A and B are shown apart, each in its own frame.
Chain A
Amino acid sequence: MLLKKLFRTLWHYKAQFISMVLMIAMGVGVFLGFNIEWYSLEKNLTEIYEATHFADYRIYAEQAFSEKDLQAVLAIEGVEDATRYLSVITSVKDSEDTLALTVVENPKVSGMLIISGEEYDPESPDGIWLSDSYAAANGISVGSGLTMTYKTITVTGTVKGLVKSSEYLICLPDETQMMPDYSSHGYAFISPKMLDAAIPAAYRLIVGNSLYMQLNVKSSLEKADFVEKTDHALGRTLLVLSRDETISWSEAQGEVDEGKTMGSILPVLFLAIAILTMVTTMHRITASEKTQIGTLKALGFRDKRILRHYTSYALIIGILGSILGIAIGYGLGWFILNPDSAMATYLDMLSWTLYAPAFCWIVIILINVFLTLIGFLSVRKMLKGTAADALRPYTPKRMKHMALEETKRFKALGFGTKWNLRDLLRHKSRSWMTLFGIVGCMVLLVGGMGMKDTLDSFMDVFFDRAYNYTTKINLDTESVTNEEALKIADTYAGDWVAQRSVQIGDRGVILEVYEITHDKVRFADRDMNVIPLGDDGVYISERIAKANSLAAGDSLTLSPYGTDEQYTVRVAAVCKCLTESIMMTRAYADRTGIPYTISAVFTDETDIAANTHILNTQNKQAIMDSFITFIDLMNKMIWLLVIAAVALGIVVLYNLGVMSYTERYREMATLKVVGFKNSKIGRLLISQNLWLTVLGILIGLPAGVGVLQYLLTALASEYEMRLTLGPGTYLVSVLLTFGVSLIVGLMVARKNRTIDMVAALKTEE
C-alpha cells in the first residue's frame, strides 16, 4: 500500500520531482562529461604510448650512432632499453607526398602496433609497414607497392601491414606545420635489413656504415642525470630531448591539461548548485508532507518504516537523476571527443574509447548517499516527539524583528517591498539557493563567453594584427645559406626569421632572429598591444619569463642545442607569444654573436616560384585554420557550458519559484480575497525574483571574471592569453540571466490565476 502511496506522492509533486531529477542529471552530466573528456584522452594516450613503447629520451647526433654507442647507452644504470632509430623525410614516387621513413632496430622501443596485415618482420627485405591513417587517406591497402626516395637512397617495397606509432602521434613533416594532413604526409617503417640493402655503395662511403642519427631510450632517470650519464658513456655532448620536449607527448599532454582545467571549476560549481537546490527542495517537500507523516505515525506505523518510505523518495530521485546524468555525461564526452572530431585529426590514437575517472563514480555514489541522508534527516526531524506533534503541520520559523525595520527608510517602503523582503529573510535557505543559482548561471555565462572573447582577442591580435603577411615561405635550412635566403627575401619584398632551438638550463625553447623592414611581422606585449622589436635586447614569452623568473632588464644565458656555447643576453621585454620563444633582431644577434640560419621569409606575394631552397609555402589562413582546430575543443566546452548554464538556471529558478509559490500560496489567496488583482500579485512575486537576480548579477559578474582569470592562469602553460571581456559578453550574460529569471518568474506568477481562494483559506494553519 505504501508503495502505491510512494508513486502517487511522486506524481503529486511531479513539477518538483522532475526538476530535481533534471537538476541532478544536469549536474552529474556536466561534471562527468567534462571529466570523461580529459580522462579518456589521457587513457587513450597511455594506451598508444604503452602499446608502441614511446621512448623516454631521444639522443641526437651529427654523426650516426654505432652499435658500440648503443651498447654504451644500454650499459648505463637506469636505462631499461634502447634502440638505434632513423627517421627521415622521403618523397613518395609519382606523388607530391612525403613519408617519414622510419627504421627501428629494436621495436620494443619506439615501435609500432599492427592495425591490419602481417606482423612486423625485422628481417623482411621488402616489407613496408605504413601508417594506417596515411593509407586510408590515400586509398592504399596491404599488398600495394610503394617507392620512397631520400637523397640518393631509394626504397621500394610492398605494404605488408598498416600500423600506428606513438612517435608519430602528431604526425607533422616539419616544425612549420601545426596540423597533420594524412593526405600528403605520413610515416612508414621498414626493416634494418631493407635499409641496409638500399644504401648505395657510394653513399655508404660518405656517411659510413650507419644512418642511425638517433638513439631512443626507455629510462626512468631524471633528465639532468640521464644527460650526464650519456655524455659520459658516449664521450661527447649531445642533444637529448626528453618526452616532455617531444611534440607527440607535450602537445597531447597539453590537451589533457586543458581538459582538466576546464573540468576543474565550472562543472564542479554546476554540480554544487544542483545538489544544494535539491537539498532545499527535498527538505521543503518533506515539510509539506508533515501531516501525512504524522498520520502514518498516528496509525501505528513504526518510525523506521516511515523513515524508509520517505527516504526512498530521495533515493529514487538521486538514482534516476544519476542514471540520466551518466547518460548525459557520456553523451557530452562523445560530443567533445570522438573519432570524427578535429582532435582525431590532430592525435592519431588507437581508439577513442570513453572512460570515466574513478573519482567521478565515487562522487556520484556520495551524492546519492548524501541526498538520501538529507531525506532521512528531514523525515526524522518531522517524526520527532509524539504522534500528536508529528500530526501538527510544519510551521516555518516565527518572524523576528530586524534592526533594519527601525530605520526610516524601511518604514517608508511599500507593503510589497516589505512583504518580499521579510519573506526572503524568513525563508533564508530558499533565498540563498535562488541567489546561488543566479550567481552560478552568471558565473558560467561570464566565464564561458569571456573565454570565447579572450580567445577571439588572442586570435585577433596574432593573426589579424601581429601577422601582417600573406605568405610564409619556409626554407630548407639544411641546404640554404643566409645569402641565398636574403635573395629570396629581396625578391618577394619580405621580412625574414631565423629559427633554432636553444636551451635555457635544461629547458628547450625556440630562438627567433628577425629582420623586419617591411612590417610583415609584429609582436604583442603583455597588454596585447602590438609593438615592434627593438635592438636593445631579447623579447621573451611569458612562459619563459615565468619559468625562469625573468623580467625586463634581467640577463639570460642560452645555449644552442647540441653545443657547449653559451650566450648571455639582456631581456628587453616580456611578450605574449604563441610558442615558447626568445625573439631578437638581426642587429642584436650580430652584436651578441649568436649564429643563425634564415629559415622563413614573410611576404605579401602569393605567387612563389619553385626553388630548391624553398621547403614549402603556407598562407596565413592555413596557419590560422590549424590554430582554430586547437581551440575548437575549448570552444565546444564553452558552448556546452553556456547552454548548460541557461538550462540549469531555468530548472533551478523554476524549482525554487514553485517552492516559493507553494509556501506563499495562502498569503496570495489572502491578498486575492482582500481584493488584490492577479496582475498585482504576479508583479509582487516577480519583483522578489528580480531583486535576487540583480543581486546575483552584481555578485556573479565579478565572480565570473575571477573564475575566468583562474582558468587563464591554469591554462597559462599552454596559451599566453590576456583576459578580455567584450561589451557583448557583459550585455548577453546580464540579459540572458535576467531573461531566464524573468521568464521563470512569469511562468510561476501565471500560476496565481489558478489559486483557489476558498480552499486555500479553509486550510488550517
Chain B
Amino acid sequence: MAIVEFKKVSRVYKNGEHEQRALDHVDLSLEEGKFIVVLGPSGAGKSTLLNMLGGLDSPTEGTIVVDGKDISTLTENELADYRAETVGFVFQSYNLIPTLTVIENVALVKEIAKNPLSSHDMLREVGLSDHIHQFPSELSGGEQQRVSIARALAKNPRILLCDEPTGALDSETGVMVLKLLLSMARDMHKTIIIVTHNQNIAKMADVVIRVKNGRIQSCEEQAAPLSVEEVDW
C-alpha cells in the first residue's frame, strides 16, 4: 500500500522576474516500509522533493498525500503536527541543539510527539548510552549524526527523511550510520527516504528514484539490494 503519493506536484520559486521550477509535475507513489534512495545531481530538485514530503515547504501545484492525508493544503499548525507525528528528519549537518545534552536533545520530542519512544532506548539503539550527558560539541560528527537519528526515531514516525546523512562524515563513519539506518528501518518497519549524491548508497535501496531538472527520470525497484557490507565503499 502506498504511504506517499505525489500527484502532479510542482514547486516554482520566484525571484523577481526570474522563475525557477524546482519540481515539475512530479507523480510518485512510494510503499510503506521500504528503503528508498533519491539520486540526482545538485539542483535536480531532490531536496525540494524531500522538503515537500517533510512538510517544510508546500507545492505551488498538485497534491501530496501521506498516509491517506493531503498535506499540501494543511495550515502552518497542522503542518507542525504532521512533522511532529508522521515524519522524522536527519540532516547532513545534524542540527542538534548545542545547549542541550545528548539525552535532552532526544527527549525534547516528548514535548510534541503523541507516542514517543523511550529516549534512553533510542540512544541505546544507536550505541550512545555512555554519552547521554554530553553536549553535542563534545561528540564526533558520526556520534552527533547518531544522536540526530535517535531524535528522529524517538518521535516514532512512520517515515524517516534523510538529506545527505553521510555527507559530512568520513566513509567509515558514513557506513556505520547507513548500517544503523537500514537496520532500524527493517526492525522498526519504517519507511526511509534518503536523498544523496552517492551512487553506492543506491545499491542498498529497495527503490531508487532518479531526479533531474525537477522531474522524475526513473523509479526502479531493486529485487536484490546489497547489504552494507556488500557495497564497495
Residue pair A761, B99 in contact (C-beta under 8 Å) = no
Evaluate whether A675 and B97 lie within 8 angstroms (CB atoms) in the complex, with A398-B137, A761-B91 already known: no
Determine whether the beta carbon of A674 is less than 8 Å from that of B137. Answer: no
Interface string of A413-431 (1 = CB under 8 A from B): 0111011001100100000
Question: In this assembly, does B162 line the interface, its C-beta being within 8 Å of a C-beta of chain A?
Answer: no
Docked-complex contact B100 and A419, CB < 8 angstroms: yes
With A399-B137, A675-B85 as given contacts, are A670 and B97 in contact (CB-CB < 8 Å)?
A: yes
Tell me if A678 and B80 are in contact (CB < 8 A).
yes
Q: Select A677's contact among B77, B91, B99, B151, beta carbons within 8 Å.
A: B77
Q: Are B84 and A675 in contact (CB under 8 A)?
A: yes
Interface of B is mostly: helix
User: In the complex the two chains form, is B57's CB within 8 Å of A418's CB?
Assistant: no
Distance in angstroms between the alpha carbons of A758 and B138 in the assembled complex: 26
Most buried by A among B95, B112, B138: B95
Question: Of B91, B97, B104, B135, which is in contact with the most chain A CB atoms at under 10 Å from its CB?
Answer: B97
A570 contact set on B, CB distance < 8 A: none
Give the interface residue-count category, chain A.
Answer: 35 or more
Contacts of A765 in B (CB 8 A): 93-94
Most-contacted residue by chain B among A418, A670, A762 (CB, 10 A): A670
Chain B residues in 8 Å Cβ range of A677: 76-77, 80-81, 112
Does B97 lie within 8 Å of A667, measured CB to CB? yes
Contact, CB under 8 Å: B135 / A758: no
User: Does residue A673 face the partner (Cβ distance < 8 Å to B)?
Assistant: yes
- Residue A223 interfacial (CB < 8 Å): no
**Could you tell me which residues of chain A, from 387 to 426, have a CB within 8 Å of some CB in chain B?**
396, 398-399, 401, 405, 414-416, 418-419, 422-423, 426
Is B109's beta carbon under 8 Å from chain A? yes
A414 to B83, CA, bound (A): 21
List chain A residues, Cβ under 8 A from B77: 677-679
Q: In the complex, A764 Cα to B91 Cα: how many Å?
A: 11
Within 8 A of B (CB), among A665-716: 666-667, 669-680
A:747-762 near B, CB below 8 Å: 753, 757-758, 761-762
Q: How far is the CB of B25 from chain A (nearest CB, A)?
A: 21
B154 to chain A, nearest CB (A): 10
Contacting B at CB under 8 A, from A408-465, are 414-416, 418-419, 422-423, 426
Q: Is the CB of A419 within 8 A of B84?
A: no
Question: Chain A, 242-263, contact with B by CB distance < 8 Å: what is the 0/1 string?
Answer: 0000000000000000000000
CA distance A765 to B98 in the complex (A): 11
A418–B93 CB distance below 8 A: no
Q: Which residues of A contact B133 (CB under 8 A)?
A: 401, 405
Residues of B within 8 A of A673 (CB): 54, 56, 83, 89, 95
Question: Which of A414, A675, A679 has a CB less than 8 Å from the CB of B155?
Answer: A675
Contact of A764 with B93 at beta-carbon distance under 8 Å, contacts A415-B111, A675-B81, A678-B80 already known: yes
B99 with A422: CB separation less than 8 A: yes
Residue of A nearest to B82 (CB): A675
The reply to whether the CB of B184 lies closer than 8 angstroms to some CB of chain A is no
Please report the C-alpha to C-alpha distance between residue A401 and residue B131 in the assembled complex, in whole angstroms.
13
B220 to chain A, nearest CB (A): 28
Interface of chain A residues 313 through 361 with chain B (CB within 8 A): none
A55 to B23, CA, bound (A): 92
Chain B residues lying within 8 Å of A674, measured Cβ to Cβ, are 83-84, 89, 108-109, 112, 151, 155
Q: Which of B3-53 contact A (CB under 8 A)?
A: 47, 51
Given contacts A398-B135, A399-B98, A673-B54, 7 further A-B contacts (CB under 8 A): A418-B104, A674-B151, A675-B155, A676-B111, A677-B77, A758-B51, A761-B93
- List chain A positions with a Cβ less than 8 A from chain B: 396, 398-399, 401, 405, 414-416, 418-419, 422-423, 426, 666-667, 669-680, 753, 757-758, 761-765
Q: Which 6 A/B pairs are nearest by Cβ-Cβ distance?
A: A675-B84, A422-B99, A399-B135, A675-B83, A677-B80, A415-B108
Q: Give the interface of B toward A (CB within 8 A).
A: 47, 51, 54, 56-57, 76-77, 80-85, 89, 91, 93-100, 104, 107-113, 133, 135, 137-138, 151, 155
Can you show 30 pairs from A to B with CB atoms below 8 A apart? A398-B138, A399-B98, A399-B135, A399-B137, A401-B135, A405-B133, A415-B108, A415-B111, A416-B111, A667-B98, A670-B97, A671-B108, A672-B83, A673-B54, A673-B56, A673-B95, A674-B89, A674-B112, A674-B151, A675-B83, A675-B84, A675-B85, A675-B155, A676-B80, A676-B84, A679-B77, A680-B111, A680-B112, A763-B93, A765-B94
